[in-house]
Amino acid sequence: MKMTSRTHRGLVRIRNEDAVWFDIDLGVAVLADGMGGLMGGQMASNVAIDSFKAHFSSSAENNERSITQAIEAADEAVRRQSELMDMNAQMGTTVVLWCRLDTDWLVAHVGDSRLYHFADDALAQITQDHSLARRMLDSGEVEEGVDVHKHYGHVLTQGLGLRTPLAPSIYRSSQLSGRFLLCSDGLSDQLAPEHMQRLMAETDLEVCADELLQCSLEAGGKDNVSLILLEV
Domain boundaries, the chain: 2-231
- Our measurement of the distance from residue 4's CA atom to the centroid of its chain's CA atoms, rounded to an integer in Å, reads 15
Determine the CATH number of domain 2-231.
3.60.40.10
Q: Kindly tell me if the per-residue pLDDT of 108 is higher than 90.
A: yes
Per-residue buried b or exposed e for 164-183, using 16+ beta carbons within 10 Å of the residue's own CB: eebebeeeeeeeeebbbbbb
Query: What's the number of CA atoms in the CB half-sphere (13 Å) around residue 123?
Result: 19
What pLDDT score does 59 carry? Answer: 81
Q: Kindly tell me if the per-residue pLDDT of 66 is higher than 90.
A: yes
Nearest to 181 by CA among 223, 118, 127: 118
What pLDDT score does 227 carry? Answer: 98
Q: Kindly tell me if the per-residue pLDDT of 89 is higher than 70.
A: no
What pLDDT score does 190 carry? Answer: 96
